[in-house]
Amino acid sequence: MALDKRAVDDLLTRVHREVDSGLLPSCQVALGYQGELAVFETYGDATPETRYVVFSCTKAIMAAAAWQLIGEGLLDPAVTVVEVIPEFMAESRPGGREAVTVESLMTHTAGFPHAPMGPPEWWTREGRLERFSQWRFNWDPGTRFEYHPTTAHWVLAEVLERVAGMDYRDLVRRRIALPLDLPRLRVGLPPGAEGAAEGATVAELVARGEPCSRDELMAAFGVPELPVTEVTEEALLRFNDPRYRELGVPGGGGIMTAADLALFYQALLHNPGGLWDPDVLADGTGRVRTTYPDPFLGMPALRTLGVVVAGDDGKSSFRGFGKTVSPRAFGHGGAGGQIGWADPATGLSLAYCTNGIDANQIRQPRRGVAISSLAGVCAPR
């Protein structure tokens, strides 16, 4: 069964609007369908070979690597982090480090969203372990949800390394990218000349637009200002630095084309070659493990073991899926407006990438809702 051409045309018209207006320097959009790449377009100052930093879309890829280890019996979501990483969290208190499990890392219920991690500690494994030992909890693990932009996935990466016996970047490459014939999908560019050559194909991130006024934020979100997190414009633009790209921040450093991302989600729908244990894959993409409310949005987080589910409460657009997907749609968006999801009801996957970091806190999410909503009707249910 083919995609709806009129719906696809509507989607593409919407996608290149901000590029035509000069707001975004470039973008890519891709639709996967029936296990294949059905649509792939590039607009603006880029080519189909251009790759983008996908930021937190990376979290779904790290989860997929963990699901493989779980299916092989090498990793248990219920295992405590300290059993695998004894150096983790010197702080000892009731409900403290002994309560942090792999599952709590992957569902953002681990209790340390604001723990510090950055240069120079994160350049080396030894530095990261030293930082782990110094962290303190923001709240008791397992008692609430709050998005951990990078901290939980730094710990998850170390867990995966110790379980699999290889660097987390190699793990993603060997177990995800190469088996799926997606060699340009990377978490961390390689060092040296190879990495420099690959880095030349990555779109440079550019700041665009102006922040909203307090009145605009109040009208849109009911608050005069948004919470301050580590995900700032300055932090995102640092990913233009070759050192950041080589590091491969496990919660946000993935580099790929929109086509790569859409095909990755097709793999999660079709499990080619039995890459994942079917039960573990179904659990990871469909079983909601936490319904704690999001502290900013006030709605259930609907987190599985690594991704977000759209849900049937009419709030899918707030979770990054637009308004037309089925409740079973799953995926993970990224800062700067990156989109990645799949819908089992239609067999469709969407990926959208841009290198324009829009400072307007209302325009960017509205663009994402529009693109996802238009994409969601491109295939029949």
pLDDT at 187: 98
CA 173 to chain centre: 17
Integer Cα distance of 141 and 159 in angstroms:
17
- The 10s digit of each residue's pLDDT in 338-377 is 999 999 999 999 999 999 999 888 889 999 999 999 999 9
pLDDT, block means (10 residues), the chain with 381 residues: 94 96 96 98 97 98 98 98 92 76 98 93 95 92 95 98 97 98 97 87 93 73 71 92 96 98 98 98 98 92 98 95 97 97 98 94 91 96 81
- The 10s digit of each residue's pLDDT in 171-211 is 999 999 999 999 999 999 999 878 888 989 999 999 988 88
Task: Give residue 54's identity as a one-letter amino acid code.
Answer: V
**Whether the model pTM is above 0.85:** yes
Cα angle 287, 293, 296; round to 5: 130
pLDDT at 28: 98
pLDDT at 117: 92
Pairing of the two strands 26-33 and 348-354:
antiparallel
Integer Cα distance of 43 and 27 in angstroms:
5
pLDDT at 214: 76
User: Residue ranges per domain, the chain?
Assistant: 5-59+190-375, 70-169
The residue to which tokens 């060092």 are assigned: 191
CATH architecture group of domain 5-59+190-375: 3-Layer(aba) Sandwich (3.40)
Integer Cα distance of 27 and 38 in angstroms:
17
Pairing of the two strands 339-343 and 348-354:
antiparallel
pLDDT at 95: 67
Q: Where are the beta strands (DSSP E) in 175-307?
A: 186-187, 206-208, 254-256
